Chain A
Amino acid sequence: MATTQSVRTARWVRGNRWFACLAAALTFFFLAVFVAVTTPVVVAAPQAPPAPGQPAAGYVGEATCQGCHDQSYKGTAHGHAFNERTPAANLGCENCHGPGQKHVESGDPALIRNFRTTTPSEVSATCTTCHNRATHALWDGSQHDQRNLSCITCHSVHSAKGEPQLKAQTQVALCSTCHRSVVNRTHRFNHMPVREGALTCSSCHNPHGSTNVRLLRAGTTIDESCTSCHTDKRGPYLWEHAPVSESCVTCHDPHGSNNDRMLVSKLPFLCQRCHVTSRHPPTVYDGFVQQNSQNANKITGRACTVCHQMVHGSNAPSGKALLR
């Protein structure tokens, strides 16, 4: 029996699970230390702001900025001075754009941080000086960060159109600028209540980076994410259905589908992808059966799940085959 390299690796890792986890953690730690020690600093990290009311050297104060620039962040979350963490409570404009004295003295726009001209990683580094907790903690290395998106790809401090500080009126409109095919699925015949406004993209996803796959917000697996709302499917059950334990998207398309219950295919054909046994599961269910036999009940309405209704799992002692 031939064995591929991939499964050899899997077998070794399985047998040495605890060692693998510890080794991975140690590897990352020491690699980070090695990089830090051996690589010279190229760009200085953003400096901690000085005490408010006492502009440090190089800072001119917000009033000076507003002498020429009419962009304001007042009325936004950044402008709430009562919150000691905001730019308004600290250095104002210079909290994000850096010290402005040289820019003011020379008028040279290159002598102050301009987010339109800095690299995406430098933009993100500035924003995550403060926005590095809660839902923003895992931005570095996240899928969007890896694709050279930055905070200002989606957000605007000075000219937001929607909440929270988005460049579009709604999340759906914003996300569709890249994920149009996904947004189109919300118009399918069977869908989650996104187009009705009860849910939005961030109801399930955290675009800033997450603990889960596919930037899902809750849990660490697809099942944990879906069952954070659909808790009746969470189980665990006495009788489990293997694809349910594996991943909800084996059978469902969460963004929308033209099949009932947002399935990836119609019943009974979806079930027949896996249930190739004997007798009724692999019967050819066609128009003849539907119109000429009592077996029409396996193709109309709920099809397989009119009998196998406990398709997500059963807690009944006689629940084998998910019939009870």
Chain B
Amino acid sequence: MRNRLLMLAAALLLVPCPGAAQTQQPPPTQTAPPASPFTGLADIGGLFTTADGDEARYERYRDTRDGLYSSFTLNRDTASYLFDANASHVGYRDQRYAVSYLRRKIKFGFNWLSLPLNYSYLTRTPFVTNGNTLTLDDNAQRAVQGPTNAAADGTAVGVPCAPGAPPAACGTPAQAAQAKAARSTYDSLATAFDLRQQRHTAALNLNYAATRAIDVETRFSSSRRDGQQPWGASFAFNTAVELPKPLDDRTDDLSVGASWANPQGMFRVGWDGSWFTNHFDSLVWDNPIRITDFSNGLPPPNGPFDPSGYSNGNGPVQGRESTAPNNMMNVVSATGLYKLPSRTTLNGTVQFTTQTQDEALIPWTINSVINSPTVFAAFPHLAQLPRATAQAEAKGINTLLNLSSRPVRSVNFTVRYRYNDRDVQTPIFDATEYVRFDSVPEEIEEGFTPQFDITRQFFDANASFTPARWGTVRVGYGHEAVERHGRGFSDVGEHIFRVSFDTYSSQYVTVRASFDVGRRRGEGFVETGIDYELGPGGTQPTLRYYDEADRDRTRGSLLFTVMPSDMVDLYVQFSGGRDRYMADTSVPVNRPGELFGLHESDVTSWNVGINFHPTDIVAVGGNYGRDGYSSLQLSRNANPPPDPTWTDPSRDWTLDNDDRINTASAYVDLLRAVRNTDIRFAYDYSDSNNSFVHGGPRVAALTSINQFIPLPDVENTWQRLTADVQYFVTTRAGVGVGYYFEKLDIVDFNTIDTNGPVGFASATGEPRIDWLGGLMTGYGNRPYTGHTVYLRALYRF
């Protein structure tokens, strides 16, 4: 409370004093407005599409089904008001509408946007959806459970390599080969469906200019999302399930604000509210390998559940998970700006944020065998929940203060201070006894919900010098201090030094360059255990999370543009960054020098291009870009201590990820270069080679026993060509032809076709849903080629 009062006092210091009296301006003399007709454009015709391969990916965020093509604009511009309306793709899943009205004191706007997200039209699933419950054929579940989990004496009998596909176990290449040859029971039961979701957003905004200085504005938007998305819903290590999760949620946002402004200053207060409502509070789905909740009739700890049920499949008949909970956010804010003499401006903002979520909690488990007095006797904490609702809450205080001053023409300085605080106030939830995968109750010492509070403070100062009209040199320093609760480091500080150079006055050359270095160091490392054997959450103690680890950062950019005349500009752009993460010597671990996690990350980007527009009716241009991303990370494949592999460096392995991308774009605009004809062409190209290369002693050891196969590069090439020709027969009427071509070639080992992982096996374009250890939808990354033609008539009025 005290903090908030002081923050408010600080904000009030920014309230500008209206020194100069506002002169009330009389309204313009009223005269009869001349008659202004409606103007606009009606563009209507047909849309025709053919596509091969992954048609959903071709569409992605669009709807290109054959049918009516439409685009309308309607305008009226009078001496007293302005009206605009437009509509496009009426009746399609990507339809859009907009209306705006501007009068003397009123500005009104309405927008409607429908946005599809098309995942795949090649997906199949044996699940049947009924609300938030997905079920499987009981006979199939019974058949799978029968031969594979017949034993009820507590011994593990293993699970099939794919649900319903023999053999029972899949731990050797021979068994895997047999499983790959056989198909799951569920493969024949799966039916095809279109996997997609849709978002509809309606937004209203109203601004009332009460006086010349005062505005009152309000905005309301409502966004509904429905459809399905690919979602994981698993039971054990060997029963990974991906299913089409149903979606039905809505977000409503309401904003209200009032501002006062004159040439000297501005002050605004506002409130923003946001409500997220999910009509599915949980997801329930059938287990493909069980028709009953497993029970061996034994007393705890050896039963009635299988203590290894989360790995051998002796678990529940159904699973239940929570979905995104209903939540609410409120923000109260104030923003101020005041112009002082000597071109000095002070501006800032303060915001108070409250996020709450108090949804009813689902039970510990849906497993009826575990929900029993027998189990509760051994796990008394599971008899009831510590509390019925989440009671989740986070409060935020956010402040930004800027001072910018140019006391003389050649000198400018800016100082900025930013404060962000996120205070999690959710009461800690005791889950020291919980149920893993709805299969096995467990007791864990560290089973309490974490609270990730974050407080950030950033101070930044810059000074610019313009010794001559040709350019400005800027030097700056920034310091960020971050305090965290619940992470590896409690305090992290980063120093940032920067320099930049910008020209602005030459009509022939523009140069913009910047360079900055940052040095981030942490302290207050969370220590677990006397001998530092385990880090937070059972990690290797020399692991560093790269979002808070000690880091040296270097970044630079250069933009060089030459404009020999008004008709042409040539440019070169470069940007690059290098991050190096390091072990901090301040932590006394018994294995100094090791650093697990991300070691380094580099980014480079080059672009060259030209724009040529010799006249108002001809414009031509092109760009070529080359990007590179690379990273290196270190890990160790080990068992927990006191197993000797935990500290064995021969178990270390690395992953080197490199992505090389070539990008090209070109355009040609000929606007009435041919009589009465507008012609537009554009071509875009992107080619990527993304490699994931394992290395290190562990990989060498696996290779020596023929148990390592390198991953093929993920390669994709994307091309798009658009063309539009409009010919006006008269000044008002014309015809148009549009063409849209898009092609993607892709090889991705993450995608499983009927022959197996693409890249290892040749692609067929047909998904396989029952690959080793899983029952999936078949969603993946597959090639496509698509053509869409628009034929239409245009009428301009």
Binary B-proximity of A238-258 (CB < 8 A = 1, otherwise 0): 111011011100100000001
Chain A CB within 8 A of B278 CB? yes
- Stretch from A58-66, A77-85, A98-106, A107-115 at the B interface: A77-85
Cβ–Cβ contact A21 & B7, under 8 A? yes
Nearest-CB residue, chain B, relative to A196: B61
Residue among A85, A233, A243, A286 facing the most chain B CB atoms (10 A cut-off):
A286
Q: With a CB–CB cut-off of 8 A, which chain B residues contact A213?
A: 418
Cβ–Cβ contact A231 & B176, under 8 A? no
Question: Complex: how many Å from CA A4 to CA B493?
Answer: 9
Q: How far is the CB of B488 from chain A (nearest CB, A)?
A: 9
A283-324 interface with B by 8 A CB criterion: 283-284, 286-288, 290-303, 305-310, 312, 314-321, 323-324
Question: Complex: how many Å from CA A314 to CA B420?
Answer: 24
Q: With a CB–CB cut-off of 8 A, which chain B residues contact A28?
A: 346, 348, 401, 403, 415, 417
Q: Given contacts A274-B546, A318-B431, are A85 and B209 in contact (CB under 8 A)?
A: yes
Nearest-CB residue, chain A, relative to B608: A180
Q: With a CB–CB cut-off of 8 A, which chain A residues contact B640?
A: 277-279
Cβ–Cβ contact A25 & B13, under 8 A? yes
Cβ–Cβ contact A287 & B711, under 8 A? yes
Question: Complex: how many Å from CA A228 to CA B412?
Answer: 35
Binary B-proximity of A6-46 (CB < 8 A = 1, otherwise 0): 11011101100110111011101101110110011111011
Q: With a CB–CB cut-off of 8 A, which chain A residues contact B605?
A: 180-181, 184
Chain B CB within 8 A of A259 CB? yes
Question: Complex: how many Å from CA A297 to CA B176?
Answer: 13
Q: How far is the CB of B675 from chain A (nearest CB, A)?
A: 23
Nearest-CB residue, chain B, relative to A245: B452
Question: Complex: how many Å from CA A9 to CA B434?
Answer: 42
Cβ–Cβ contact A233 & B176, under 8 A? no
Chain A CB within 8 A of B436 CB? yes
Q: How far is the CB of B635 from chain A (nearest CB, A)?
A: 4
Q: Given contacts A22-B6, A45-B263, A300-B774, are A277 and B539 in contact (CB under 8 A)?
A: yes
Q: With a CB–CB cut-off of 8 A, which chain B residues contact A160?
A: none
Cβ–Cβ contact B416 & A141, under 8 A? yes
Nearest-CB residue, chain A, relative to B661: A258
Q: With a CB–CB cut-off of 8 A, which chain B residues contact A55?
A: none
Q: How far is the CB of A269 from chain B (nearest CB, A)?
A: 5
Q: How far is the CB of B563 from chain A (nearest CB, A)?
A: 12
Nearest-CB residue, chain B, relative to A153: B504
Q: Given contacts A231-B251, A237-B357, A283-B637, are A276 and B392 in contact (CB under 8 A)?
A: no
Q: Give the number of chain A interface residues (Cβ < 8 Å).
A: 156
Q: With a CB–CB cut-off of 8 A, which chain A residues contact B294?
A: none
Question: Complex: how many Å from CA A290 to CA B711?
Answer: 10
Residue among A219, A220, A240, A245 facing the most chain B CB atoms (10 A cut-off):
A220
Q: With a CB–CB cut-off of 8 A, which chain A residues contact B398?
A: 211, 220-221
Checking A188, A243, A291 against B756 with a beta-carbon cut-off of 8 angstroms, the contacting residue is A291
Q: How far is the CB of B48 from chain A (nearest CB, A)?
A: 19
Question: Complex: how many Å from CA A177 to CA B573?
Answer: 9
Chain A CB within 8 A of B529 CB? no
Cβ–Cβ contact B408 & A42, under 8 A? yes
Q: How far is the CB of B226 from chain A (nearest CB, A)?
A: 13
Question: Complex: how many Å from CA A137 to CA B682?
Answer: 37
Chain B CB within 8 A of A70 CB? no
Q: With a CB–CB cut-off of 8 A, which chain B residues contact A250?
A: 546-547
Q: With a CB–CB cut-off of 8 A, which chain A residues contact B424?
A: 236, 240
Question: Complex: how many Å from CA A189 to CA B349?
Answer: 38
Q: How far is the CB of A292 from chain B (nearest CB, A)?
A: 4
Q: With a CB–CB cut-off of 8 A, which chain B residues contact A266?
A: 657, 690, 692, 714, 750
Chain A CB within 8 A of B450 CB? yes
Question: Complex: how many Å from CA A31 to CA B403?
Answer: 9
Question: Complex: how many Å from CA A26 to CA B416?
Answer: 13
Cβ–Cβ contact B607 & A220, under 8 A? no
Chain B CB within 8 A of A48 CB? yes
Q: With a CB–CB cut-off of 8 A, which chain A residues contact B702?
A: 284, 286, 288
Chain B CB within 8 A of A206 CB? no
Q: With a CB–CB cut-off of 8 A, which chain B residues contact A178?
A: 512, 559, 573
Q: With a CB–CB cut-off of 8 A, which chain A residues contact B231?
A: 309
Chain B CB within 8 A of A51 CB? yes
Chain B CB within 8 A of A155 CB? no
Chain B CB within 8 A of A121 CB? yes
Q: With a CB–CB cut-off of 8 A, which chain A residues contact B2?
A: 18
Q: Given contacts A288-B709, A300-B757, A306-B232, are A323 and B437 in contact (CB under 8 A)?
A: yes
Q: How far is the CB of B436 from chain A (nearest CB, A)?
A: 7
Q: With a CB–CB cut-off of 8 A, which chain A residues contact B492?
A: 7, 10
Q: With a CB–CB cut-off of 8 A, which chain B residues contact A31?
A: 403, 415
Checking A25, A119, A315 against B11 with a beta-carbon cut-off of 8 angstroms, the contacting residue is A25
Checking B346, B394, B512, B561 against A236 with a beta-carbon cut-off of 8 angstroms, the contacting residue is B394
B229-256 interface with A by 8 A CB criterion: 230-234, 237-238, 240-242, 249, 251, 253
Q: How far is the CB of B756 from chain A (nearest CB, A)?
A: 7
Q: How far is the CB of A117 from chain B (nearest CB, A)?
A: 8
Cβ–Cβ contact B711 & A196, under 8 A? no
Question: Complex: how many Å from CA A324 to CA B343?
Answer: 57
Chain B CB within 8 A of A204 CB? no
Nearest-CB residue, chain A, relative to B607: A180
Nearest-CB residue, chain A, relative to B27: A84
Q: How far is the CB of B166 from chain A (nearest CB, A)?
A: 13
Checking A181, A220, A265 against B575 with a beta-carbon cut-off of 8 angstroms, the contacting residue is A181
Q: With a CB–CB cut-off of 8 A, which chain A residues contact B776?
A: 300-301
Cβ–Cβ contact A245 & B454, under 8 A? yes
Cβ–Cβ contact A146 & B238, under 8 A? no
Question: Complex: how many Å from CA A293 to CA B169?
Answer: 9
Chain B CB within 8 A of A57 CB? no
- Stretch from B75-83, B127-135, B724-732 at the A interface: B75-83
Chain B CB within 8 A of A67 CB? no
- Stretch from B143-151, B184-192, B332-340, B786-794 at the A interface: B332-340
Chain B CB within 8 A of A138 CB? yes
Cβ–Cβ contact B342 & A39, under 8 A? yes
Binary A-proximity of B467-497 (CB < 8 A = 1, otherwise 0): 0000010100001011100110001111100
Residue among A121, A178, A282 facing the most chain B CB atoms (10 A cut-off):
A282
Cβ–Cβ contact A21 & B232, under 8 A? no
Chain B CB within 8 A of A148 CB? yes
Question: Complex: how many Å from CA A269 to CA B597?
Answer: 10
Q: Given contacts A184-B663, A245-B422, are A316 and B771 in contact (CB under 8 A)?
A: no
Cβ–Cβ contact A277 & B637, under 8 A? no
Cβ–Cβ contact A246 & B543, under 8 A? no
Checking B481, B487, B631 against A242 with a beta-carbon cut-off of 8 angstroms, the contacting residue is B487
Cβ–Cβ contact B405 & A35, under 8 A? yes
Q: How far is the CB of A209 from chain B (nearest CB, A)?
A: 8
Cβ–Cβ contact A282 & B636, under 8 A? yes
Question: Complex: how many Å from CA A237 to CA B623?
Answer: 45
Q: With a CB–CB cut-off of 8 A, which chain A residues contact B287?
A: none
Cβ–Cβ contact A48 & B523, under 8 A? no
Chain B CB within 8 A of A147 CB? yes
Nearest-CB residue, chain B, relative to A302: B232
Q: Given contacts A196-B62, A291-B176, are A306 and B639 in contact (CB under 8 A)?
A: no
Residue among B333, B493, B586 facing the most chain A CB atoms (10 A cut-off):
B493
Nearest-CB residue, chain B, relative to A287: B709
Q: Given contacts A121-B343, A188-B686, A310-B321, are A32 and B403 in contact (CB under 8 A)?
A: yes
A105-133 interface with B by 8 A CB criterion: 119-121, 125, 129-130, 132-133
Cβ–Cβ contact A286 & B349, under 8 A? no
Cβ–Cβ contact A294 & B346, under 8 A? no
17 example contacts (A-B, Cβ-Cβ < 8 A) are as follows A14-B481, A24-B401, A125-B343, A138-B349, A141-B414, A176-B623, A177-B561, A178-B573, A220-B400, A231-B251, A242-B452, A269-B655, A276-B543, A276-B597, A287-B757, A295-B773, A307-B232
Given contacts A13-B457, A45-B341, A297-B237, 17 further A-B contacts (CB under 8 A): A14-B483, A20-B419, A29-B14, A32-B405, A140-B402, A184-B625, A187-B684, A233-B324, A235-B394, A242-B450, A242-B452, A276-B543, A287-B708, A296-B771, A309-B321, A317-B429, A323-B436
